[in-house]
Structure formats: C-alpha cells, structure tokens
Amino acid sequence: MADETSAGSQKKYLQKKSSNRKSSRKYGEAASKAVASAMRREKKGTLRSGKGSKGGKVTSRKQAIAIGLSEARKRGAKVPKKSAA
C-alpha cells in the first residue's frame, strides 16, 4: 500500500514540474516561411548562392536552408545567431 502512494505522489510531482516549464520557439514563423520559400526556389532551380545571387545554382538542401535562414535574419525574423563554425 505504501508503494502505491509514493508512486502516485511521484507521478503528481513529475506532472506538476513539467507543467511549469514554458516552451519558446527557437525559430519564428517568419523564419520557417523564408526557409520554405528558399526550398521551393531550390527545387525549381532558381535559387542561387552568393551576393546578389550572382553565384552558382544551389543544389544542396542544406545550402538552401542556410540561405533561407540568412534571408530571414536580414528581415529581422526570430532566428538564433549564426554559429562560429
């Protein structure tokens, strides 16, 4: 009987603790729209790299996502800072 009550109280404790946490989005909605737009342009074949889109055609998904996030940053969307890598 004692095991059931301690398990029940532990369950309540865990539920209470998780409900207090606030989740905030790492990327804003505008950022996801910019990435989606870049992905569409990459699939269509019109996404280009480089300043002023004077570089080569983008063929990599990762590069398309990076360009979309970069464009979102320029517009002031909620996007984490670029990593130092």
What is the spatial distance between Cα 65 and Cα 37, in angstroms, rounded to a whole number?
Answer: 10
Closest to 31 (Cα-Cα) out of 67, 68, 82: 68
Rounded mean pLDDT of 64-85? 90
Q: What is the pLDDT of residues 7-53, one digit of tens each?
A: 666 666 555 555 566 778 899 999 999 999 999 999 999 999 998 88
Position 25 scores a pLDDT of 85
Q: Is 64 a residue whose pLDDT tops 90?
A: yes
Asked if 28 and 73 touch (Cβ cutoff 8 Å), the reply is: no
Distance CA 70, CA 83 (A): 12
pTM: 0.67
CB 30 within 8 A of CB 75: yes
Residue 58 CB-half CA count within 13 A: 23
